[in-house]
Amino acid sequence: MRFVSIASLLFSLAPLAMAQSTAHWSYEGKTGPFAWSRLDPSYAACAKGHEQAPIAIRGTHLNKALAPVEFHYISGGVKIENNGHTIQVTVHPGSYILVDGTRYDLVQFHFHHPGEEAIKGTPADMDVHLVHRSADGKLAVIAVRFNQDHDIANALMATLWPHLPATVGKSEELTDLINPGGFLPASRSYWTYTGSLSTPPCTEGVRWFIYQDEVPISRAQFRAFASLYRFNARQLQDAHGRRIEASE
């Protein structure tokens, strides 16, 4: 029952988990980000919200009181799916993070090309968003940025990528032991701010943690994803005076 209840959350989260609505949305053209708020009344926050994501990471404030995020990730089977907006990997229950004493269970992770987080105006080649949910329904997202390297392949990506579904709607259950911690950089320094889902319905109140160090992936790994999604990133949003804090 635990797995069913966690899995059912996926349909309320948009690729930060896909939102369920009759309104089709995309990253370009007439159903692209500038039109999202007009596609469905439930998407109104995409235009009217003042805590939207992503935002440019600049002018950060060092906060020595910020505690490290505690990761409690376990290895297990996953479901990998091409959902029409990204490649999404749904995890079995058990992995979680602790933030200021609050537990957030890992629900799924997915990828963007280019990376949605821009550091001083420059996005990474790709990123992964690890989406977590607390018992009271609050969301926390860990963002890790990837950049290409000629020689260095990411080991976790090397396990997942042979199973990338090329067709929208296709999925595969993997019995390989997947541990999402394989995406985390060695340094756990991060930037944090309060934002939103970066896809419709653009729900606000999401805690974002963007890890400062980039993680290398091979050029072949980058190209494999880019061949499926040549562009699936939302444009940077107005910060509206939000404070971006940096951990040590």
Cα 220 to the chain's mean position, in Å? 21
Picking from 162, 12, 28, the residue whose alpha carbon sits closest to that of residue 87 is 162
Cα distance between residue 108 and residue 78, in whole Å = 9
Q: How far is Cα of residue 74 from the mean position of the Cα atoms in its chain?
A: 19
For 10, 30, 33, 38, 233, the CA distances from 42, given in Å and listed in that order, are 17, 18, 14, 9, 20
Backbone torsions φ then ψ of 220, nearest 5 degrees? -65, -40
The Cα 232–Cα 243 span in angstroms is: 26
DSSP per residue over 115-132, as a string?
Answer: -S-EETTEE-SEEEEEEE
Among candidate residues 50, 85, 110, 240, the one labeled active-site is: 85
Place of tokens 């933030």: 99
Helix (H) or strand (E) holding 193: strand 190-196
Among 244, 30, 15, residue whose Cα is nearest residue 108: 15
How many residues in total does the chain contain?
Answer: 248
CA dist., res. 44 & res. 47, Å (int): 6
Active site residue 85: yes
* Catalytic residue set: 85
